[in-house]
Structure 1
Amino acid sequence: MRITVLIVMLGALAASAASASAAASGPAPATAAFDAASAYLASPAAHVPRPAAIPQPRDNEPNQFQASLPIVINTWPFTDATRAAWASITTPSTSAVDAVEIGCTVCEIEQCDGSVGYGGSPNEDGETTLDAMIMDGITHDVGSIGCIKRVKSAISVARKVMEHTTHTLLVGEDATRFAVSMGFKEESLTTNNSISIYQSWKAQNCQPNYRLDTLPDANTSCGPYKPAPNTSNRGSSRYHTSPRINPAVGPGNHDTVGMIVIDANGNVAGGTSTNGASHKVPGRVGDSPITGSGAYVDNNVGGAAATGDGDVMMRFLPSYQAVRNMEAGMTPTAAAEDALRRIAKFYPNYLGALVAVNKQGQFGGAAHGWNFSYSVRNSTMSDVTVFSVTPLDAKP
């Protein structure tokens, strides 16, 4: 009963989010998705404990969860985001794009696992910056923002890029300036928690970090850094024999929310939101806002979304690869596994994961280097189901 009431309530708010984009006299376009997400988080459904994860069925195993539309799937057990998106997409007046924006906004407000939204993953200067993207599978239109500062609603700013410019990606201070021009509030993303994380890192001589070949030695010291002598020859044999892996990457500091939504008519949308890598070099943009890496959708096929070591993964566009694999006839699970194996061929120690869903509503996930779980809701489920995935490189 509570879930039914929530769907009705969020339906009205999601409808207002959709109409706000079209009506100048409606609610401020910068806050419509935020209002819908906030309404969900104020409801009893937001306080339901995360369900225990169940093992993902293999393609050749019996599966009680049949392919069905509409469907919401997202990385990690961020179940409030899944429920909010489901409540939106089951309302006739809202679109898959609306549902993605609302679902990711919930994670931004909740600061999912400290890796999404404000107050997490401070950079080398102690500042939190945000990356996000949103994509429409009907038109292949994309809006992305990278390294945006002092604006909390990253996914909504990305949507404004998609709807109010002919560009795909805006970054840094100019992305902030764009957001303010679109009606978003400029405010600090720093919290007591992010200050504590930063101070603890500084007290540990800035370890770990993402620097290479510097003076002072980044393995033992904080900056400011300069290039060490005789280390700037990118053509040297070192770079051909030792792929650059991020030693600072690990569970808890690369947990992007990546979400794919398919509505009852088969229209697909995808999105991502993250505060990136903890202690990153200022100015760094990860894979989340990169089309085809963080997420990719195609109305004729389905969609995929990624999480993990973005500096490695963006070199291979795994979400795009997974979608193309499904187009070639692979199941979502096989498509995701193949996309990750292509990366592991060159980076056997990287951490990454994918979720994928085809236009029929079949879904699956894959992981490499770490334990991974993802959340799904469709009409065959009474609530969100969380699936655990065994890493491809796990030893038997």
Structure 2
Amino acid sequence: MKGRRRFLGHMALSAGAMSLARGVMAGPAESAVVRGGRVVSTWDFGVGANQAAWQRLSTGASALDAVEHGARWAESELCNPTVGRCGNPDREGVLTLDASIMDGDGRCGAVAALEDIDHPISVARRVMEDTPHVMLVGKGAQQFAMAQGFRRQRLLTPEAEQAWREWRERAKYEPQINVERNLTPGNKENHDTLGMLAIDRDGRLAGACTTSGMAWKMHGRVGDSPLIGAGLYVDNEVGAATASGVGEEMIRNAASFLVVELMRQGRTPMEACREAIARVVRKRPEASRSLQVCFLAMNRHGEVGAFALHPGFVYAVCDADKQDTLRAADAVYDGAAA
């Protein structure tokens, strides 16, 4: 009996020591939260989006306000063929926009296949705050947006329309893996969905995702970006994750939710992203050779990690020290099991 008590006492001390060690390890990351928060975003244009988000975060705004503001910048100020008003249309020549937003307390909202309404991220937030639903799509999403005061306007740019007309001459859809590793902010070779994660000075998390989807997609196609758990997932108790690349693979694996749950089990953000990639590959090895899949994650202490299936993925990091940091993915999948 005495031996058992000594054993249990030893285990309690060991657990306390491990807890203390974790607290010490978390210290530097937690200091970033205390000092004002952190924002991370996918791709090179995430630098500008982060800077817009930081305008809010640095003044004490919530992480939710920050990610909405950053995503709005990408939807209107950035002119990119995969995000917002400058996005490329579907194969019918129709531009549709998708977006989702999620607070760390579990609240979330999304819109999909939204036409002729700028700032889908703000419409998504209205869905979250002003309806009992999570997602509105198509004409219903447009009707709701207009009732909320958003103005209907033609968003398809002449450049995007011309690109569509040129595509129609060959009418072939071929997703291309971006193999460039250009870490210069503004590099137009790196572009895709904007996924943004933020943690504010109070330790609250939030995320946003906005896109015009695949160029030349079938009319009515919706990818992972507006689907909570696929393109975006946030949990104040654990962390947040967002995805980029071919959305169908994220949907098949509930990928962003998977990354967060792996962090809940003790993985670092980078380890969680890597294991999620490995699962995608194991399920569809034939597709993994030609499709890009990327994950970006941040835990509740502000630690960041990213992983990609193929080279080319970059992400932006912003905090009180620096607002224009651009990094390559921490690693690229090497084919090893996870």
Describe the SS at the equivalent of 2:86.
coil
Equivalent residue number for residue 377 of structure 1: 318
- What's the counterpart of residue 327 of structure 2? 387
What is the CA distance between 1:383 and its match in structure 2?
2.7
Q: Distance in 2 between matches of 1:284 and 1:190?
A: 18
Shift of 1:77: 1.4
Amino acid at match of 1:283: G
1:274 is matched with 211
Cα shift at 1:82: 0.5
Q: CA deviation at 1:351?
A: 1.1
Query: Which residue does 1:365 correspond to in 2?
Result: 306
Cα RMSD of the aligned pairs, angstroms, is 1.8
1:113 shift after superposition: 3.3
**Residues 1:338 and 2:275 are matched in the alignment:** yes
Q: Which letter maps to 1:388?
A: A
Match of 2:44 among 77, 86, 89: 77
Specify which of 125, 143, 154 is matched with residue 188 of structure 1. Answer: 154
In the other structure, the counterpart of 2:293 is: 352
Q: 1:254 to 1:279 in 2, by over 3 A?
A: farther
Match of 2:57 in 1: 89
Could you tell me which of 240, 248, 266 is aligned with 2:175? Answer: 248
Post-superposition shift, 1:253? 9.4
Percentage of identical aligned residues = 38
* Deviation digits for residues 318-353 of structure 1 (CA, Å, limit 9, x no counterpart): 111111111111111111111111101122323110
- One-letter amino acid matched to 1:207: K
Contact kept in structure 2, 1:302 and 1:323, CA below 8 Å: yes
TM-score with structure 1 setting the length: 0.70
Q: State which of 233, 247, 255 in structure 2 corresponds to 1:318.
A: 255
Amino acid at match of 1:257: L
Cα separation, 2, equivalents of 1:135 and 1:176: 20
Q: What secondary structure sits across from 2:283 in the alignment?
A: coil
In the alignment, what sits opposite 1:17? none
Is residue 303 from structure 1 mapped to residue 240 from structure 2 by the alignment? yes
Note if contact 1:120-1:193 (Cα within 8 Å) is conserved in structure 2: no
1:130 lines up with 2:130 in the alignment: no
Structure 1, unaligned stretches of length 5 or more? 1-65, 209-246
Name the CA distance, whole Å, in 1 between partners of 2:57 and 2:310: 33
Instruction: Tell me, yes or no, if structure 1 residue 118 matches structure 2 residue 85.
Output: yes
TM-score under structure 2 length normalisation: 0.82
| Greater mean deviation of Cα atoms: 107-116 or 316-325 | 107-116
Distance 1:249 1:315, change over 3 A: farther
Equivalent residue number for residue 200 of structure 1: 166
Aligned partners of 1:254 and 1:276 also within 8 Å: no
- Distance in 2 (alpha carbons) for counterparts of 1:190 and 1:132: 17
Q: Which residue of 1 aligns with 2:9?
A: none
Tell me, in whole angstroms, the C-alpha distance in 1 between the residues paired with 2:252 and 2:65.
29
Mapping 1:54-73, distance limit 5 Å:
66-67=28-29, 68-69=32-33, 70-73=37-40
Q: 1:127 to 1:253 in 2, by over 3 A?
A: farther
Report the Cα distance in structure 2 between the residues aligned to 1:254 and 1:154, rounded to whole angstroms: 19
The CA distance in 2 between the partners of 1:345 and 1:253, in whole Å, is 26
Give distance in 2, aligned partners of 1:181 and 1:383: 36
Instruction: Supply the AA of the counterpart residue of 1:81.
Output: A
The correspondence for 1:158, drawn from 99, 124, 147, is 124
- Could you say which structure has the higher helix fraction? 2
Offset, 1:254:
6.9
Q: Report the counterpart of residue 49 of structure 1 in structure 2.
A: none
Equivalent residue letter for 1:361: G
Q: Does the C-alpha gap of structure 1 residues 111 and 382 become closer, same or farther in structure 2, counting only changes over 3 Å?
A: closer
**Code of the aligned partner of 2:48:** D
Shift of residue 394 of structure 1? 8.2
Deviation at 1:317, TM superposition (A): 1.3
SS at match of 2:296: strand
Moved >3 Å (runs of 4+): 249-254
Shift of 1:142: 0.8
Structure 2 match to 1:257: 194
Aligned to 1:237: none
Aligned match for 2:143, one of 163, 168, 177: 177
Alpha-carbon distance in structure 1 between the residues aligned to 2:166 and 2:62: 43
One-letter amino acid of the counterpart of residue 239, structure 2: G
